[in-house]
């Protein structure tokens, strides 16, 4: 046989091996069908795998495998490249201011007197200074005070931009429960006197001593930016400056400090540009002050672990980073932020708090001043707003962080699993086993299509969200505040009212069978929750992760039961899951305060989005 011809024939035979026999279109359809059925048969396993992957990923975020060291993205910053001039003379100034402030404190001076004193000092230094009275007129109408601020006009340029150095009167110690930030205020005063002597500032510097913990700064900032918050009555600002780019908030509650802590979470889960934090920690370490994330200066104790595991370096790091992460989730998910700096973020100002971790030593005004001066010089170098580096990150340690690509998928995987579950239930809801009218004529199970009552379910869901909105409007009203037993009544109402719905639905439509309705409700509920989770991830990852944990598995296993007792138990479980937090009185009070004063949307979110989602799952059980 001729060589080439033979080879050609072999080649063609091989080709036809790859080509399906018969109609190619049919083969394509069959292939697709086989693929779909392959996925459909394994959807439960797939779902489970996604859930497990998501949760395991979430648990491994604190590990050193996912994070990396921080680095600078903005070359203009040039951190730590300058000689600092802050010296013992300035420390002496600060001590002097501190003495006078302590006198004021001991004489129980009103905030008016305090602010007058601070303003006088600013004026003496030669800055233009003023005060601002404010009071809140909403639910918490007992909040009032006086802010003091001074503006150093930029010696070099027209002052279209500004930097803020601030200290609140009350320190963030124990989440602002009353420790005074006297040394922080003294630092700001000494600093203002100090920077006046230099002509190198490329932007205005605004010094703010805000009254109270968060509320004073909220009033000042909203007035500065001309934004109305309907429940603040604040004096107009006499002095104004340019756009604020960065803000440093100084918190020095103790006698001395051993570490400087970084607090960076803002209101509603916003974070500042990471370059700012990076340059601060870089400068601080170059100056000789150790930096920690938050106030975690000791390693976490793991007494319950055996000695050999406890001392393993990997475990130790994991534990320390997990503690940081836990703190971060707490601040970010609650939306309250971790301090006064958080208020700046809502106006697109990068800000953080340097917290002087109280200790017996070794540092004090001297080191702190140098760090602040150098940080100010760094931000002074900026030619435009911080924009390069990361806005989406999770700090696991002061010098390590997790990129968005390494933490976001954990919540997204869970949300995808929920979406798959929802679509699966949606398909299931369309089929029902035909009743055995004609016994043993057909195969074992004949499936027929059935009606999916979509409109009823959509209106039910809308109803739950409206119910949530009504709950929210009640919770944010004065009546709720004044009635001490209100939470219990509210819980009772929330528990009992939805029970009416099944009977309502039953009387209204008699043609659709309940299981199909429950299935459709479950499908939509899962799809909606999945959408909510995946959308929240970019806004507030911690909240999304909490939602994924709270809703992921529970909503997926919601199912109606024939046993009355189990149904009620299931229903109660979901209602408690969704609304149990109301009984934690302190938490609720804090949330209402945050909403009323700072505009943190956790409370409306919980009431209008989260609770209705669980309520829908609860209704799946009893409908």
Residues that bind other proteins in the complex, under the rule CB under 8 A: 160-161, 222, 224-230, 236, 240, 242-243, 270, 345-348, 384-385, 387, 391-392, 419, 423, 426, 430, 448-456, 458-459, 462-463, 508-509, 527, 531, 534-535, 538-539, 599, 601
Q: Which is nearer to other proteins, 271 or 357 (CB)?
A: 271
Q: How far is the CB of 270 from other proteins (least distance, A)?
A: 7
Q: Could you give the 3-state DSSP secondary structure of residue 334?
A: helix
Q: Could you give the 3-state DSSP secondary structure of residue 447?
A: strand
Measuring CA to CA, which residue among 337, 389, 130, 105 is closest to residue 213? 337
Q: How far is the CB of 397 from other proteins (least distance, A)?
A: 22
State the residue for tokens 């429940």: 231
Distance CA 322, CA 305 (A): 16
Q: How far is the CB of 542 from other proteins (least distance, A)?
A: 16
Q: How far is the CB of 380 from other proteins (least distance, A)?
A: 17
CB–CB of 534/504 below 8 Å? no
CB–CB of 236/246 below 8 Å? no
Q: Which is nearer to other proteins, 255 or 348 (CB)?
A: 348
Q: Which is nearer to other proteins, 32 or 124 (CB)?
A: 32
Q: Which is nearer to other proteins, 300 or 599 (CB)?
A: 599
Q: Which is nearer to other proteins, 326 or 447 (CB)?
A: 447
Distance CA 395, CA 324 (A): 8
Q: Which is nearer to other proteins, 400 or 465 (CB)?
A: 465
Q: How far is the CB of 347 from other proteins (least distance, A)?
A: 6
Q: Could you give the 3-state DSSP secondary structure of residue 438?
A: coil
Tokens in use for 590?
């804090």
Secondary structure (DSSP) of 270-286? ----HHHHHHHHHHHHH
Q: How far is the CB of 531 from other proteins (least distance, A)?
A: 6
Q: How far is the CB of 230 from other proteins (least distance, A)?
A: 5
Q: Which is nearer to other proteins, 392 or 495 (CB)?
A: 392
What number of residues does the chain have? 623
Q: Which is nearer to other proteins, 21 or 508 (CB)?
A: 508
Other beta carbons less than 10 A from residue 47's beta carbon: 18
Residues in contact with 195: Cβ distance below 8 Å, sequence separation at least 6, in sequence order: 152, 201, 205, 373, 376
Query: What are the phi and psi torsion angles at 464 (to 5°)?
Result: -65, -40
CB–CB of 234/134 below 8 Å? yes
Q: Which is nearer to other proteins, 65 or 387 (CB)?
A: 387
Q: How far is the CB of 566 from other proteins (least distance, A)?
A: 29
Helices (H), 311-437: 313-334, 342-345, 365-380, 404-429
Q: How far is the CB of 535 from other proteins (least distance, A)?
A: 5
Distance CA 157, CA 204 (A): 9
DSSP letter assigned to residue 254 = S
């Amino acid at each position: 046989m001729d060589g080439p011809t033979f080879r050609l024939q072999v080649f063609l035979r091989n080709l036809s091996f790859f080509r399906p026999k018969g109609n190619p279109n049919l083969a394509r359809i069959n292939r697709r069908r086989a693929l779909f059925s392959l996925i459909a048969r394994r959807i439960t396993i797939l779902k489970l795998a996604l859930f497990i992957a998501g949760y395991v990923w979430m648990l491994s975020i604190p590990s050193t495998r996912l994070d990396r060291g921080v680095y600078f993205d903005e070359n203009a910053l040039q951190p730590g490249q300058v000689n600092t001039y802050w010296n013992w003379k300035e420390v002496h100034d600060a001590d002097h201011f501190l003495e006078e402030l302590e006198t004021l404190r001991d004489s129980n001076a009103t905030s008016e007197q305090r602010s007058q004193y601070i303003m006088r000092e600013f004026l003496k230094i030669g800055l233009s200074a003023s005060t601002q009275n404010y009071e809140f007129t909403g639910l918490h109408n007992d909040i009032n005070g006086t802010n003091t601020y001074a503006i150093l006009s930029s010696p070099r340029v027209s002052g279209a931009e500004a930097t803020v150095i601030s200290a609140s009167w009350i320190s963030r110690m124990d989440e602002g429960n009353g420790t005074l930030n006297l040394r922080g205020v003294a630092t700001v005063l000494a600093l203002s006197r100090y920077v006046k002597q230099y002509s190198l500032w490329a932007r205005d510097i605004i010094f703010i001593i805000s009254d109270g913990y968060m509320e004073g700064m909220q009033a000042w900032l909203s007035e500065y930016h001309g934004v109305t918050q309907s429940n603040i009555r604040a004096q107009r600002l006499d002095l104004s400056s340019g756009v604020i780019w960065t803000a440093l908030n100084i918190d020095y509650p103790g006698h001395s400090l051993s570490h400087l802590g970084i607090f960076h979470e803002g209101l509603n889960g916003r974070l500042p540009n990471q370059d700012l934090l990076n340059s601060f920690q870089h400068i601080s370490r170059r100056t000789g002050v150790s930096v920690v994330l938050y106030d975690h200066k000791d390693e976490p104790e793991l007494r319950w672990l055996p000695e050999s595991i406890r001392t393993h370096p990997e475990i130790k790091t994991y534990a320390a980073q997990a503690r940081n992460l836990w703190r971060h989730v707490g601040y970010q998910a609650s939306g309250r932020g971790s301090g006064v700096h958080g208020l700046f973020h809502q106006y697109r100002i990068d800000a953080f708090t340097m917290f002087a971790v109280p200790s017996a030593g070794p540092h004090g005004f001297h080191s702190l001043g140098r760090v602040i001066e150098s940080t100010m010089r760094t931000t002074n170098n900026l030619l435009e707003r911080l924009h390069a580096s990361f806005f989406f990150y999770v700090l696991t340690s002061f010098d390590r962080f997790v990129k968005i690509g390494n933490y976001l998928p954990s919540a997204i995987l869970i949300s995808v699993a929920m979406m798959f579950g929802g679509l699966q239930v949606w398909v299931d809801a369309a089929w029902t086993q035909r009743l055995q009218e004609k016994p043993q004529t057909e195969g074992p199970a004949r499936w027929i299509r059935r009606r999916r009552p979509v409109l009823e379910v959509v209106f039910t869901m809308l109803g739950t969200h409206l119910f949530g909105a009504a709950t929210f409007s009640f919770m944010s009203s004065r009546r709720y505040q004044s009635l001490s037993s209100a939470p219990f009544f509210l819980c009772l109402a929330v528990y009992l009212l939805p029970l009416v719905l099944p009977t309502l639905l039953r009387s209204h439509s008699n043609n659709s069978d309940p299981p199909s309705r429950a299935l459709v409700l479950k499908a939509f509920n899962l799809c909606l929750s999945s959408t909510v989770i995946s959308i929240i991830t970019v806004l507030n990852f911690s909240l999304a992760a909490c939602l994924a944990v709270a809703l992921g598995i529970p909503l997926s296993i919601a199912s109606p039961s024939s046993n009355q007792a189990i149904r009620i138990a299931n229903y109660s479980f979901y209602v408690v899951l969704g609304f149990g937090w109301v009984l934690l009185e302190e938490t609720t009070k804090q949330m209402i305060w945050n909403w009323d004063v700072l505009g943190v949307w956790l409370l409306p979110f919980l009431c209008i989005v989260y609770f209705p989602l669980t309520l829908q799952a609860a209704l799946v059980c009893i409908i």
